[in-house]
Structure 1
Amino acid sequence: MPEPKTTNYTDTFIEVAEDSPAKKAEIPPQKTEKTVAARQFDMLYDHPYQYTSDDVIFAVHAEKNNIAKKDFTSARREFFSKGQACFRSSPLAKRYGWGVHSDAHGKIAIYPLESAEYKKLAKDKSLQHVKAMRSKRG
């Protein structure tokens, strides 16, 4: 089996996309059929630095595809045998105004665009800085 790919960053801050319509962070709409953004938000908002990017991306995939808990290990191995989009493509950072900080252990937390914490992380020279992917090409 090929070496698993990862979406995890360490000591990195993913800044809100340049073309995001959000002027301040928004909670993704909580619909009956939860969106990827809502699922990611629900996992991260009250659990900062508890999960890695891989944990969140796989959990959302598993929930969306009704993967049984007993099958998680093999399903996760297969899921990450192919490259997956990282949190730079998360709607939280692209659309809803949330920055994503990865600590030294790859655990992540989200910070609202308008917060003092976001501004502090955005200026932190000890971190790698990347922007969330743009929604539009150009």
Structure 2
Amino acid sequence: MSYTDTFIRVAEDCPAETGTTPVSERPALPAHVIQYQLLSGSPYRYNHEELLYQVHVRHKAIPEAEWESRREEIWAGLFAKNHPCLRASMLPKRYGWGIHYDAEGRIALYAKESPEYDYYTSSSEAGVKLLSAMRSKRR
């Protein structure tokens, strides 16, 4: 699912008080670490589908030359099934990152303590639809 003019707040049960950089000791990085690397390094570069694709090829350790030459094939296989939106990502659920989709659906991260996060979550001038990340635990 791709959003536009939307801001995803951190989950109600998010344990992080501030935006925290996710890390992993595993050789194959988990999806949320790759999402963080891509979005923090290039805000508003990726839309949801392109982010999913980039996370997929990196997570599967597909060589860059291959994912460029086989893009259509890999893309078709990836999107033959449904994928969760970023409301289910560990970034807003556990690590304290709000997610902004601009008018063109491109994505940027904002730390929970940042002025941008505060602007998007509390200002009617921001003109965005507010959603909350999915909770980690049932009520």
Does the pair score TM above 0.5? yes
Q: Does 1:110 align with 2:104?
A: no
> Which aligned pairs between 1:39-54 and structure 2 lie closer than 5 A?
39-54=34-49
Aligned length: 132
Q: Which residue identity is paired with 1:36? A: A
CA contact (8 A) 2:47 2:106 kept: yes
Structure 1 unaligned blocks of 5 or more: 1-6
User: Do structure 1's residue 57 and structure 2's residue 58 form an aligned pair?
Assistant: no
1:43 & 1:53 partners in 2: Cα distance? 12
Unaligned runs of 5+ in 2: none
Q: Partners in 1 of 2:136 and 2:87 — Cα distance?
A: 11
> TM-score normalized by structure 1?
0.88
The alpha-carbon deviation at position 72 of structure 1 amounts to 2.2
1:129 aligns with 130
How far apart are the structure 1 equivalents of 2:52 and 2:91? Answer: 12
Instruction: Indicate the structure with greater helix content.
Output: 2
Measure, in 2, the Cα distance between the counterparts of 1:123 and 1:18.
16
What whole-Å deviation, never above 9, does each CA across 1:29-86 have from its counterpart, x for those lacking one?
Answer: 1434322221111101121101112111221112222343122222212222322101
Cα offset, 1:136, TM superposition: 1.1
- Paired with 1:62 and 1:115, the residues of 2 have a C-alpha distance of 31
Report sequence identity in percent: 38
Alignment of 1:1-138 (within 5 A): 7-31=1-25, 32-67=27-62, 68-69=66-67, 70-125=69-124, 126-138=127-139
Q: Comparing 26-35 with 95-104, which one deviates more in the overlay?
A: 26-35
> Over aligned residues, Cα RMSD in angstroms?
1.4
Cα offset, 1:106, TM superposition: 0.4
2 CA distance for matches of 1:30 and 1:45?
A: 16
Contact 2:28 2:59 in 1 (8 A): no
